[in-house]
Amino acid sequence: MKTRIKELRARHDLTQEELAKKVGVRRETILFIEKGEYNPSLNLAHNIAKALKTTIDDLFMFED
């Protein structure tokens, strides 16, 4: 799974720490999600998408 979190985070001028605080998780969780090494729950994915003013579909790309 690929993610556009890093790109959208930069567009909104947010650091990993700021995004983590906004969605109520630890900074490492955002780091691992950005690296594609952790698949977040649907709830967390929704919260991240909301914080970055986008949709889950736009944020995560699934590879077949």
- Binding site residues, other proteins, CB under 8 A: 20-21, 24-29, 32, 37-41, 44
Cβ nearer to other proteins, comparing 37 with 57: 37
Cβ nearer to other proteins, comparing 1 with 10: 1
Distances (CA, A) of 20 to 24, 26, 28, 39, 56: 6, 6, 9, 15, 17
Output the smallest distance, CB 39 to other proteins, in A: 3
Are 53 and 2 in contact by the 8 Å Cβ rule? The answer is: no
Cβ nearer to other proteins, comparing 6 with 27: 27
Are 40 and 34 in contact by the 8 Å Cβ rule? The answer is: no
